[in-house]
Amino acid sequence: MQKFIITGGKRLSGELVLQGSKNSCLPIMAASLLCSSECTLHSCPKLTDVYAASRILNCVGCKCSFSENTAVIDPGNVSCTAISEELMREMRSSIIFMGAMLGRAGECIVSVPGGCELGPRPIDMHLSALRKMGVEITETGGIIRCRTPSGRAKGTRISLAFPSVGATENVILCAVTAEGDTVINNAAREPEICDLCGFLRACGADIAGDGGSRILIKGKQQLHGCEYTIMPDRIAGATYLSMVAASKGELILTNACTAEMEPFLSVLEQTGCSIYTSDDRIYLRSAARLKAVRDRIRTMPHPGFPTDAQAVLMAALSLADGTSVFEENIFDCRYRHTGALIKMGADIQVLGKVAVVKGAERLFGAAAEATDLRGGAAMVIAAICAEGRSEISRICHIDRGYEKIEEAVRLLGGDMRRV
């Protein structure tokens, strides 16, 4: 089993090119199923989740190949509508193949997906919305069978109880080839939703309103392939900015999605870092010890502070002057990383959905086990800033979202290796 060995205490400095977005790439790969001809996707990150999505596509009959960061997907010969339980378990985002398969074939067999254990993440909202579109769904022993009696879903008006990213994506994927018009009220507004819609429009879909809470979709009989570039990964960007800020370092982040990262940047700026931005470039300088964030950091759906950035910022603030308070409003079990940070010397108290972080004088190297994707990244940040040597195991979680994170750290002058 692989692990990371990190010797902390080094100031990070340099330039990084931000990887493509995992949370955009996965639904866009699923969306390629809806096309009648080849899709070429640029800026695909080399991640285990992306490779899992590729295996699912190949399993149902697509031809999916990678060269560097480009995926070429030929969906012309989809021959299977069942996705094995083993493949579904590999990642949480596998559930979006349900909407894509329904949009392509009018039927599918999937299972309850896997991914990080962040507490209950029911897919009831997905199933309820698809049922409103005329999809017949039966569930037996974790296996979900879906079919549309006429071969195509029916456009309708759907109001989501919560602006769920996954449910919004599944409805969009099913609706773009449905009969008639679909309206999604209280839709998720995340930038990755806009990227998915941008790809589908490039394939001929008729979608309007993405980025707002009301999305309108006019169903088309068929979509065509296209060439498309995946947006940059705003959460990977937040991770590297937090890492360099905590190390009192300096970073030029290129290929950045500056506007989409504003909810995070506005909070990070309160720590005393100097931050300058252009359309696709972020410069950060942190010459001194960070300051605690004055206001409570509440995770919320976009455009609020992203839940995926909570853990990495917490790791940085564990060495700040003063006390910062986090409030996690998206997932129930998103503080599982705090045990490892406390083991390294952080002063963190968790009370329900609130975490109180009092800046410690210093952190110390320790052995830790990654609990989930972003929690694992938080442990890397703490280890980079700690005195001495740390070992982080179960790094399979980290590899789900960061492309060769150890090489990025070494490029910035850190001491991190994979063994």
Q: What is the pLDDT of residue 93?
A: 80
> What is the residue-wise DSSP string for 64-108?
EEEETTEEEEE-TT----B--HHHHTT-GGGGHHHHHHHHHHSEE
DSSP state of 260: G
User: Which helix (DSSP H) or strand (DSSP E) does residue 160 occupy?
Assistant: none
Query: Does 220 belong to an annotated binding site?
Result: no
Query: Does 23 belong to an annotated binding site?
Result: yes
Q: What is the pLDDT of residue 90?
A: 83
DSSP state of 14: E
Q: What is the pLDDT of residue 114?
A: 53
Segments of the chain scoring below 70 in pLDDT: 92, 114-122
Query: Does 289 belong to an annotated binding site?
Result: no
3-state DSSP assignment of residue 356: strand
Q: Which of 44, 47, 5, 17 is nearest to 411 (CA)?
A: 17
Query: Does 398 belong to an annotated binding site?
Result: no
Is the Cα dihedral 178, 181, 186, 189 positive or negative? positive
Q: What is the pLDDT of residue 91?
A: 79
Q: Which of 114, 209, 130, 208 is nearest to 167 (CA)?
A: 130
Query: Does 49 belong to an annotated binding site?
Result: no
* CATH architecture for segment(s) 22-229: Alpha-beta prism (3.65)
Q: Which of 252, 307, 306, 302 is nearest to 280 (CA)?
A: 252
Alpha-carbon gap, residue 42 to 25, rounded angstroms: 9
Q: What is the pLDDT of residue 115?
A: 42
Q: Where are the domain boundaries for CATH 3.65.10.10 in the chain?
A: 4-19+232-418, 22-229
- The dihedral over CA atoms of 76, 81, 82, 88, expressed in degrees to the nearest 10, equals 60
Q: Which of 184, 152, 179 is nearest to 169 (CA)?
A: 184
Alpha-carbon gap, residue 53 to 90, rounded angstroms: 9
- Establish whether 257 is a catalytic residue: no
Q: What is the pLDDT of residues 346-365, one digit of tens each?
A: 999 999 999 999 999 999 99
**CATH numeric code, 4-19+232-418:** 3.65.10.10
Identify the active-site residue in 44, 64, 116, 385: 116
